[in-house]
Amino acid sequence: MRFTPDKKQIKLFIIISIPILIITQYYLFKFGILRPMVRGVELKISKGDYVEDIDQFVMKLNEEVTLSSGDYIYIPTYAKKPNIWFNVLDKKEVIKIKEGNTLVALKEGTSSVAIMKNSRALRKVNIKVVDPKVQKLLVEPENNLVYVGDKSKINTVIDVDYNRFKEKEKATYESSDENIVKVSGNKLEAVGVGRATVTVKAQDKEEKLRYNIRARVAKIDIADTIEIGIGENKQLNPNIITSPKGLKPPKIEYQLLGRKLSVERSIALDERNGTIQGIRPGSEKVKITCDNKEKIVTVKVTDKISSDNKIKNLRYSHQIVGNKLQIFLEWDYLEGIFDYDVYLKNNSLGESNYKVVKNVKIKEDDIKINKKVSTTIEVDLVDGDLPDINIYVVGKSKDFTTGPSNIVSIKPQQNDIQNLSVKNLSVYVDKENNVARFTWDDIGIEGAQYSIFVKNNLSGNSGYELLEGNIGSNEYTMNLTGSSADLEFYVRANKDDKYSGKSNIVNIKFDSNEDNSGGEEENKPDEDTPIE
Residue 9 forms part of a structural domain: no
Range in 150-159, 164-173, 289-298 the model is least confident about? 164-173
Question: With 70 as the cut, is the pLDDT of residue 40 above it?
Answer: no
Same-domain pairing of 46 and 121: yes
Q: Which of 66, 100, 130 is the last residue of a domain?
A: 130
Strand-pair partners of 374: 330
User: In terms of DSSP H, where are the helices of 215-341?
Assistant: none
- Residue 18 forms part of a structural domain: no
- CATH number of the CATH domain containing 54: 2.60.40.1380
Same-domain check for residues 316 and 406: yes
Q: Which residues have a Cβ under 8 Å from the Cβ of 155 and sit 6 or more positions away?
A: 139, 140, 141, 142, 186
**Same domain as 405, residue 322:** yes
Interatomic CA distance for residues 80 and 180, integer angstroms: 63
Identify the pLDDT of residue 164.
66
In this prediction, residue 530 has a pLDDT band, given cuts at 50, 70 and 90, of: very low
Question: Is 69 among the domain residues?
Answer: yes
Task: Determine the 3-state secondary structure of 396 from DSSP.
Answer: strand
Asked if residue 317 and residue 397 are part of one domain, the reply reads yes
CA-angle at 384, arms to 357 and 492, nearest 5°:
70
The pLDDT of residue 432 is above 90: no
Could you tell me if 170 and 132 are in contact, meaning their C-beta atoms sit under 8 angstroms apart? Answer: no
Same domain as 394, residue 341: yes
Burial class (CB in 10 A: 0-12, 13-18, 19+), 154: buried
pLDDT confidence bin for 172, thresholds 50/70/90: very high
Secondary structure of 36-85 in HEC code, one letter for each residue: CEEECCCCEECCCEEEHHHCEEEEECCCEEEEECCCCEEECCCCCCCCEE
Strands (E), 214-361: 216-221, 225-229, 233-235, 239-243, 252-256, 267-270, 275-278, 282-290, 293-302, 315-321, 324-332, 339-346, 355-361
Bond from prior residue into 76 cis (ω within 30 degrees of 0): yes
- Does residue 8 sit within a domain? no
Q: Do residue 433 and residue 490 come from a single domain?
A: yes
Domain final residue pick, 112, 130, 148: 130
Query: Residue 472 maps to which CATH number?
Result: 2.60.40.10
Closest to 487 measured CA to CA, from 495, 498, 479: 479
Which whole number is the average pLDDT over 6-10?
A: 75
Higher pLDDT, 244 or 444: 244
Query: Which CATH number characterizes residue 174's domain?
Result: 2.60.40.1080
Mark whether 84 and 144 lie in a shared domain. no
Q: Are 327 and 316 in contact (CB under 8 A)?
A: yes
Which residues sit opposite 100 in a β-bridge? none
CA atoms within 13 A on the CB side of 257: 13
pLDDT exceeding 70 applies to what percent of the chain?
85
Residue 532: pLDDT over 60: no
How far apart, in Å, do the first and last CA atoms of the chain sit?
Answer: 166
Q: DSSP secondary structure string, 299-330? A: EEEE----TTSB----EEEEEEETTEEEEEEE
Structure confidence at residue 39 as a pLDDT band (50, 70, 90): low
* Percentage of the chain exceeding pLDDT 90: 30
Whether 31 is covered by a domain: the verdict is no
Identify whether residues 295 and 323 lie together within a single domain.
no
Provide the CA 212 distance to its chain's centre, in angstroms. Answer: 14
Q: Give the Cα separation of 88 and 96 in Å (integer).
A: 7
Cβ pair 383, 336 in contact under 8 A = no
- Say yes or no: 433 and 386 in one domain: no
Q: Return the amino acid letter for 386.
A: L
Give the model's pLDDT for residue 155: 92
**Of 53 and 126, the one with more pLDDT:** 126
Total count of domains within the chain: 5
- Longest CA pairwise span in the chain (Å): 180
355-412 pLDDT tens trace: 999 999 998 777 767 788 999 999 999 888 889 999 999 988 776 778 788 888 888 7
Confidence of residue 57 (pLDDT cuts 50, 70, 90): confident
Check residue 522 and give its pLDDT: 39
Give the pLDDT confidence score for residue 517 in this predicted structure. Answer: 41
Do 122 and 106 contact (CB within 8 A), yes or no? no
- Summarised one tens digit per residue, pLDDT across range 92-138 is 888 898 887 888 888 888 898 888 877 778 788 888 888 888 888 99
Do residues 402 and 445 both lie within one domain?
no
Q: Give the pairing of strands 216-221 and 73-75.
A: unpaired
- Residue 332: inside a domain: yes
Residue 14 lies in a domain: no
Q: How many residues does the chain have?
A: 532
State the DSSP H helix or E strand holding residue 29, giving kind and residue range, or none if neither: helix 7-30
380 forms bridges with which residues in the sheet?
Answer: 324
Range of the domain at 331: 312-410
Cα distance between residue 284 and residue 84, in whole Å: 94
Question: Which range among 8-12, 134-138, 144-148, 158-162 shows the weakest confidence by mean pLDDT?
Answer: 8-12
What are 254-268's pLDDT values in tens digits?
Answer: 999 988 887 788 888
Least confident residue range of 303-312, 435-444, 517-526: 517-526
Distance between CA atoms of residues 412 and 390, nearest Å:
12
Angle at 193 between CA 188 and CA 197, to 5 degrees: 50
- CB of 454 within 8 A of CB of 492? no
Give 267-301 pLDDT, tens digit per residue: 889 888 899 988 888 899 999 999 989 999 999 98
Give the mean model confidence (pLDDT) for residues 199-224. Answer: 92
Could you tell me if residue 531 is inside a domain? no
| Cis peptide bond N-terminal to 250, omega within 30 | no
Do residues 67 and 108 share a domain? yes
* Last-in-domain residue among 410, 444, 462: 410
- The residues, ordered by sequence, that sit 6+ positions from 86 with a Cβ below 8 Å of its Cβ are 43, 67, 97, 100, 101, 103, 113, 114, 115, 116
d(CA 313, CA 472): 11
Query: What does the DSSP 8-state code read for residue 403?
Result: B
Same domain, 43 and 122: yes
